[in-house]
Structure 1
Amino acid sequence: MLKSIIEYEDYRQYMQDFYEDRKRTGAFTWREFAKRAGFSSPNFIKLVCEGKSGLSPLSVERVASVMGFVGIERVYFRSLVMFSQAKKDSDKKNAYKEMCDIAGAHRVRLLEGEAYAFYESWKNAVIRELAPMMPGAKPLEMAKMCIPSITAAEVSETLSFLVKAGFLEKDGEGFRQTNKSVAASAAALPMLVRSMHKQMSDFAKESMDKVSVEERNISGVTVGIDREDYEKIVGEIEELRRKVVAIATEKNSAEQVYHLNLQFFPLTRNTIGGEK
């Protein structure tokens, strides 16, 4: 049975499932799908489902009509298409928030809803690490430990979210981390992580002026490489990241929260292959 559109985070996948569901129950083809939606190209819908084309605002309405969407389902489908096709992170965030609001109002839980909210603010990641280190501490005490500074009210709000979403749980007078991972769907994750990286990159710049050299390590190197070198270096960066995580999780004790930025990006265009 075809699931509700509100349970989807990929509009192309829903269109594919809709097509296959109709094909199983009758003589339904890609040509018929496109024709009902008013497209002259018989393969247009198939190309959209394969990710080779997209839907314009007018096309969204045509396809929604063929799939029988009215009311809140049509609104959700519009947001779903916007989320998938938007170029700006701000537009993606707005679309995803509307999807989550609709799903919540209709008692459909998007599995990535908590992860979406988690990545919205750097405070969630920091307090999730800090709270277990300070058993019995009041929000004001935790707030005073944060760089950059935040208020006790923000700490309280963050703790409430982390407990409600299952990232932390009460442990006597303090908190402890649960085994729940902080993850999002393949569709949502890139946008969410970009948002977090942008925040952390800003903090890295500020730390050069606000944190003593004895407590930070910031360095860089500019090199000329080819594609093979690039792949090797990326592999080394990934291996370093895994080692850092292994070291940090090796012991149960911790006394301070750090963040590691790994940034490796081009400063020129490709001189051999042309602009890419």
Structure 2
Amino acid sequence: MKTVLRSIYTYTDYREYIRDSYTQKKTEEKMTLRDFARKAGFNTHTFLTNVIEKKRSLTQESAAKVAKGLGLKPNERTYLELMVRFGNAKTIDEKNDIYEQMCASMPRSEIRKIGSEYYEIFRNPYILTVREMVALPEFQEDPRWISKRLHPHITTGQAEKAISTLLEAKLLDRDKKGRLRQATADLTTGAEVKSLAIALYHKQLLELATQSIDSTPAKDRDISSLTLNISKSEYDFIKRRTAAFRLEILDFLKKKREDMGKEFPEEHKRAIYYLNMQLFNATELPW
């Protein structure tokens, strides 16, 4: 029975794509890994085995050979080479730049399939902030109101895009009267895109925290730090307690809102805050 291989544009991990493509050819064409290597122009099949098993990485030159072996079209070859660069990138900023090139190189009908929706939401922190603003008692679905209320301000165009993105992702929907309300949806995508999006989100929140030192009076913010001499077990303990603290805050707010009702009658004046917690190494790790 003939199997249908997923479009190359649904992949962000080139190893996964090569593995699936070879598996299909092995099943339908009885192609061996030696045959594949010979067709691609490699001297030995062990290199491809090591690539699939994550023991070796492709280069741009070897990616071109793999594209030849798989019989890829020019635009598919370009996408494969970008996937290789994406997988080999060392920094978040480099990955971000290549990911945007990947999106630009594919047919528009394929963009959603690699998680661009997820990426768009997390690469711009204000989008999730707008989702939280919808629950404010005084919220107005007016891009000018949203743009001026956010700190720092965004443009009206960004406010409009945030709402449309959230509606498309089903993180917002409308009630019977057509008013915006928060909704819950599972954002699913490949691990690589998810990791990139969340890393970008954290980086930008840290930048916003830095800006708040100058733009927000000390009485309206809480920024503090500790420098600690700790062991691996103490590090693990702090991580567990930090995670428990985040859950405690969320449970507290959820319970309070349930007790008060959706309109917050007892505490009408509300604002959206970011809570960042950072624990990172200042020396090389001995464990």
Please, what TM-score do these two structures have when normalized by structure 1?
0.87
Counterpart among 198, 206, 211 of residue 211 in structure 2: 206
Answering whether residue 83 of structure 2 is matched by residue 80 of structure 1, we say yes
How far residue 266 of structure 1 moved from its aligned partner, in angstroms, is 0.9
Q: Deviations over 1:45-92 (max 9, x none)?
A: 111111111111111110001011013222221222222222233332
Q: Percent identity?
A: 28
Tell whether the 8 Å contact from 1:168 to 1:178 is kept in structure 2 after alignment.
Answer: yes
Answering whether residue 31 of structure 2 is matched by residue 28 of structure 1, we say yes
How far residue 244 of structure 1 moved from its aligned partner, in angstroms, is 2.8
Tell whether the 8 Å contact from 1:136 to 1:174 is kept in structure 2 after alignment.
Answer: no
Partner Cα distance (2:278, 2:115) in 1: 26
Answering whether residue 161 of structure 2 is matched by residue 157 of structure 1, we say yes
- Matched ranges for 1:158-177 at <5 A: 158-171=162-175, 172=177, 174-177=179-182
Which deviates more from structure 2 when the two are superposed, residues 57-66 or residues 85-94?
85-94
Q: Structure 1 184/42 Cα, relative in aligned 2: closer, same or farther at 3 Å?
A: closer
SS at match of 2:96: helix
Of structures 1 and 2, the one scoring higher in RCO (CA 8 A, sep 6+) is 2
The match for 2:275 is: 260
- Matched ranges for 1:68-217 at <5 A: 68-107=71-110, 109-110=112-113, 112-133=115-136, 134-171=138-175, 172=177, 174-217=179-222
Q: Please tell me the residue identity of whatever aligns with 1:14.
A: Y
Aligned residues: 272
How far residue 201 of structure 1 moved from its aligned partner, in angstroms, is 0.7
Tell whether the 8 Å contact from 2:134 to 2:180 is kept in structure 1 after alignment.
Answer: yes
The unaligned stretches of length 5 or more in structure 1 are: none
SS at match of 1:187: helix
SS at match of 1:125: helix
How far residue 27 of structure 1 moved from its aligned partner, in angstroms, is 4.2
Q: Deviations over 1:160-199 (max 9, x none)?
A: 3322343222343631122113454211122211211111
The match for 2:267 is: none
Q: Deviations over 1:211-256 (max 9, x none)?
A: 2334322222111111121122212222222333333444245732
The unaligned stretches of length 5 or more in structure 2 are: 265-269
Superposition RMSD on alpha carbons, in Å? Answer: 2.4
Please, what TM-score do these two structures have when normalized by structure 2?
0.84
